[in-house]
Amino acid sequence: MQVEPDRDRSRSSRHQPPGGNGARDRGIDTKVLNERLSKLQRYGILERTVFPEKPPQVEYHFSEFGRKFLKVIDAIDKRQADTAASAINPGNETNE
């Protein structure tokens, strides 16, 4: 299962602490979500901000590297979509 980043990259996503319903509302187990967020943070794609609130709130946002990385992923995704479209309609190939 792949967690897709929010397509509106200008917003950061907030989630509830472990055990909250935030992860379940997204269709992913809290443990799995936390593991994936931690991995993305270790890779330098996400940055984490902890707010001193009760209950604790955590906000993740893309780092500078993460925003650059997303541009590469978006380019690959667009190229894949273009390739799939040209396979369905061979006369409409795009050369970018």
CA-angle at 31, arms to 19 and 15, nearest 5°: 55
Both tokens of residue 23?
């992860």
Whether residue 7 lies inside any domain: the answer is: no
Interacting residues of 95 by C-beta distance below 8 A, sequence separation 6+: none
Whether residue 95 lies inside any domain: the answer is: no
Both tokens of residue 45?
């794609």
Whether residue 4 lies inside any domain: the answer is: no
Report pLDDT for 95.
Answer: 53
* pLDDT over 80 at 8, yes or no: no
Whether residue 2 lies inside any domain: the answer is: no
Whether residue 3 lies inside any domain: the answer is: no
pTM of the predicted protein model: 0.59
Whether residue 70 lies inside any domain: the answer is: yes
Domain with 69 in it: 13-88
Overall domain count for the chain: 1
pLDDT digits (tens, 9 = 90+) for 30-43: 899 999 999 999 99
Whether residue 72 lies inside any domain: the answer is: yes
Whether residue 8 lies inside any domain: the answer is: no
What is the CATH number for 19?
1.10.10.10
